[in-house]
Amino acid sequence: MLFSWLHNRAGTDVAAATAHAQALQSIERSLHLDIELAANQWLAERPALIQAAALYYRLYYLPLIGVLLWVLFARADVYPKVRRTFVVMAPLALLIFWLLPMSPPRFALPGIVDIVAQHDLFGNDTSRDLTTGQNHFSAMPSLHVGWSALCAYTAWLALRDKHPRFGLLVWLFPIVMVAVVITTGNHYVLDVVGSVLLLIISIAATTVWNRWRRSP
């Protein structure tokens, strides 16, 4: 609840969010990474995949909650490391949202179809309503990808010893999420890169934290 409250307070500077989005688009064009419009148009032409993508985008937190509860009650050796990673990751993400508000492609990139808004699973369009108090300008980093990657990392830690193949298979969850957030017009390619860096930095900080706790 505290995270959500702070997150929503960071999404008020529309002008800055638009300027940052335009700057990011310019960087992506120079690096030939500006695939968001083409990917979005590809999905918009495939009705059979649209509902699945909207469902994946909306309900991604259910697997995350399930995996966290599993390691909490069944893998007490794994949970503390995951918890500390989460504790590092959440405030770092909030700091970026406050310092670098950014409009998602569905707001700042001409021609993007807001697929999740058009196919809302709950019967109402909140993804474009700026009066709800929600933060619509936190594209960088993508926490849909970040939390999905944390979910996969948690499952990998729990499975890698006894079930290494399943431990690798769980990484499909964030990989599919990357495709979903880009094709639905919610994130840029560099948002995904930011999410990966956020998780890596959080894991590294947690490793240092654990070593410090074990030291005399």
> Which tens digits make up the pLDDT trace of 150-175?
999 999 999 998 888 888 999 999 99
Residue 57 CA neighbour count, 13 Å, CB half: 26
Indicate if the pLDDT at residue 68 is higher than 90. Answer: yes
Average pLDDT, the chain: 91
pLDDT tens digits along 72-129: 999 999 999 999 999 999 999 999 999 999 999 999 999 999 998 888 776 555 555 5
Residue 130 pLDDT exceeds 80: no
pTM listed for this prediction: 0.91
Would you call 102 helix, strand, or coil by DSSP?
A: strand
Q: Give pLDDT, residue 122.
A: 64
Partner residues linked to 102 by β-bridges? 138
Instruction: Indicate the angle between helix axes 47-58 and 172-183, nearest 10 degrees.
Output: 110
